[in-house]
Amino acid sequence: MIERKVPRTDDPGRGMSYAVKSKKTMFLLGVFLLISPVLFSQMAMAEEQPTDTLNIENGNISISEVGKATQTGNTYTFSNDRGLRLTGTSDQYGITVRYGVGTGNPVKLKLDNLQIDTSKNDLCAFSILENASVVIELMDGTDNRLTSADYYAGLQAQNLGGKAGEVRITGTGALTAIGGRGSAGIGGAQNITHWYGTGGNITIDSGTITAAGGEEGAGIGGGYKGDGGVIRISGGMVTARGGKYAAGIGGGHYGLAGSLDTTSENINAQGGDGADTIGNGADYTEKNAGETVIDVQQSTDVKVDTAPTARSAQTASSREEEARQDTTEPVMKAGAGSIILSFGLLLLLMGAELGLCKRMEKHCLEDERSQGQ
């Protein structure tokens, strides 16, 4: 008869097995407590936070949807009826309204002494991408200034392949917009449309506006080789100065006037060498035949050449694709990636500890068998 031996509860090997299991549990609990602050902080970061004000000093601001903005990894919601107030001073951060945001329901932004000068950081101070629509209110008594690097407009709203960024400026405050080389103060940028910086849809209802183009960029309108786009100025006090060979209001160097409707009585415009004060940039006859109408208060209708070249169409399609790709939110992806990485690290640690514990338990069982024999 074979006698079956049962390990005693006071067996040292048996006690070691229980100790291993207890240590394993405590270790996993410790790992969870250690890593949980990271997990929960990442989740909190991805949550939307209500606000009515963002300060540019805290980082780049991206308007990703009507009533939604992101900054430094945080997502904020705001009432579009009241508008989002933008304030602060920066020489390294800018503002972007993403592709298509505000179509049919413009994003309302209120500038409160916003001062951005990115001229030394290869960045646009304030960019409105294609098919996006924005209403900017200059808050009463404020002085706002947007200065961009070369190849970017100060307040950038461009037209790409018929898809125009749109901006309407209202309010009683002041705005100064200064473009870099090849770009308008307000309008198109050489960098954006790959040498054809056509302006978008620009409306000025009120405010004290000063716009200065960089070399070969209009004060308000087109950048280098860019047409003026659609420009309507019905009120406010507007001063527009074109860069070398560019119109004060209208086309950049080689650019055409576009569609201009300037009915305000308080416009002071100055064109560069060989360019119109309000109208075409210098050397605009290089373009092919086309037609547009300029409706300027102090002149009769003038028909000018407007057809784009083949090169303009080719670059438009490539830039459109680039703009579409720019609509994704890298901040949200980064937040989700951090959460996944944290969970993955936790699982990896748990797996490693379980493997270690199993090996230790195996050795304990072998010890128990050897002691029982």
* Distance from C-alpha of 227 to C-alpha of 230, rounded to nearest angstrom: 9
The tens digit of pLDDT for each residue in 190-220 reads 865 445 789 999 999 999 999 999 999 999 9
Query: Is 220 found in the same domain as 121?
Result: yes
* Angstrom distances, CA of residue 357 to CA of 11, 124, 165: 19, 57, 62
Domain extent, residue 368, equals 12-45+341-372
Query: Is 195 found in the same domain as 106?
Result: yes
Which SS3 state, helix, strand or coil, does residue 22 take? helix
- Whether 229 is covered by a domain: the verdict is yes
Query: Is 189 found in the same domain as 101?
Result: yes
Query: Is 324 found in the same domain as 233?
Result: yes
- Whether 266 is covered by a domain: the verdict is yes
Where does residue 350 rank: exposed (0-12), middle (13-18), buried (19+ CB within 10 A)?
middle
Query: Is 225 found in the same domain as 125?
Result: yes
Number of domains present in the structure of the chain: 2
With CA atoms as reference, report the closest residue to 187 among 290, 116, 258: 258
What is the predicted pLDDT for the residue at 293? 37
The tens digit of pLDDT for each residue in 67-76 reads 999 999 999 9
Query: Is 364 found in the same domain as 287?
Result: no
Query: Is 79 found in the same domain as 191?
Result: yes
What is the predicted pLDDT for the residue at 343? 58
Please state the pTM of the whole predicted model: 0.71
Query: Is 37 found in the same domain as 56?
Result: no
Under 8 Å between Cβ of 100 and 131:
yes
Residue 297 scores a pLDDT above 60: no
* Distance from C-alpha of 185 to C-alpha of 194, rounded to nearest angstrom: 17
For residue 13, give the DSSP letter.
H
Query: Is 302 found in the same domain as 276?
Result: yes
Query: Is 350 found in the same domain as 234?
Result: no
